Amino acid sequence: MSKYWNQRTRALSPYIPGEQPRDRKFIKLNTNENPYPPSPEVIAAIQNVANEDLRLYPDPECLELRIAIARRYARYALTPEQVFVGNGSDEILAFAFAAFFESGAAALPVLFPDITYSFYPVYARLWDTPFELVPLRDDFSLNIDDYDRPNGGVVIANPNAPTGRALRLEDARLLVERQAACGRIALFDEAYMAFASEPRSLAAYINEYPNLLTVHTLSKAASLAGLRVGYAIANAELIEGLRRVRDSFNSYTLDRLALAGATAAIYHSAYYDDCNRRVIATRERVSTQLTALGFELVPSSANFIFTCHPAIKGSALFMALRERGILTRHWDIPRIADYLRVSIGTDADMDAFLAACVDITCA
Ligand code: PMP
């Protein structure tokens, strides 16, 4: 704590990202990165713009990328004015909290589940936005009726993190409709939607619901966590709100390399569909094998599984895996202290993980 920090900095409780080890080689199953490399076209596109034009600022409108995204969703009749892009979806979430949710003790609370992406409360605190945690059911499923109360907006990760559970499309739409009826935003964070067996993005309904904002990332489904690109889809007025906030911080959130790589990734989505089918197949195989070993699993629609073993504490399991060179994610917080979130790696990674689980559970 420095005497030079202002009150706001003193009061911050920042997000803690998953460990990025430097000391030894781990099988990294702790930050939901895609185990497969980006498409070769993406790497070529980035290399192609690594030239002297880097002395110039990038396009602040990010127009080419927004056109590519609108085209990709052409079946939903989207225009580039309905697309916002940002430096990872985290940045877009931060902007959305600033743009759409009121601050101060008198404001109605923003609602999100008690077990969800742990960055949401961090943003709420950063912008002094009151929030309430709405408990998920015991099986970590979400009851939309629990959100039927005065609120300043709802934020739902679908599929949820770290549980991996997805909402039924009918429920998600009903929640958006109820929020529209009371003039409130429904923000759906679809970071993991591509890994659902049947992806049902709410982006399909943007033209129906003026209060709906969907947030997406290239970090997981497009193997580009290192490039930092996310995007949001909503009606043009909401997108304009995000731009107002962005342009009050930094007009150039995406650099030339990121714009080129992300645009190529959007156009080469067939490559990624193939990688992600492999991730889904591995997830299903590992889930079956873990169940046979006595693990309990939450049904996953994401590129990770959320699992516990009735005979081993979560912290002990985490440490035992770590000792065997396998990094997973563990939160020492109520309700989920006995669970681990395990990202889906390659088949070889997961075989090593399963072998370690056999070793630990049979010891
Ligand atoms: N939303 C959820 C639910 C996430 O798990 C993550 C990844 N930690 C993000 C958003 C942010 O992803 P990125 O900033 O890499 O786009």
219 lines ligand 1 (CB under 6 A): yes
How far apart are the CA of 4 and the centre of ligand 1, in A? 31
Nearest CA to ligand 1 atom 2: 191
Contacts of 77 (CB under 8 A, 6+ apart): 207
Which is higher by pLDDT, 285 or 23?
Answer: 285
161 lines ligand 1 (CB under 6 A): yes
- pLDDT of 330 over the 80 cut: yes
What are the sequence ranges of the domains in the chain? 19-37+270-362, 40-267
- pLDDT of 55 over the 80 cut: yes
d(CA 322, CA 110): 37
* C-alpha distances in Å from residue 140, one per residue of 153, 201, 298: 21, 20, 8
159 lines ligand 1 (CB under 6 A): no
Average pLDDT of span 279-305? 98
**% of the chain exceeding 90 in pLDDT:** 94
- pLDDT of 241 over the 90 cut: yes
- pLDDT of 212 over the 90 cut: yes
89 lines ligand 1 (CB under 6 A): yes
Which pLDDT score is estimated for 79? 97
Average pLDDT of span 212-234? 98
Q: Which fold has domain 19-37+270-362?
A: Aspartate Aminotransferase, domain 1 (3.90.1150)
Can you tell me which atom of ligand 1 is nearest the CA of 219? 15
123 lines ligand 1 (CB under 6 A): no
189 lines ligand 1 (CB under 6 A): yes
Give the distance, in angstroms, between the CA of residue 134 and the centroid of all CA atoms in the same chain: 19
Same fold, 19-37+270-362 and 40-267: no
Which pLDDT score is estimated for 184? 98
Can you tell me which atom of ligand 1 is nearest the CA of 17? 8
What CATH code would you report for 40-267? 3.40.640.10
**Mean pLDDT score of the chain:** 96
pLDDT band at 343 (very low <50, low <70, confident <90, very high): very high
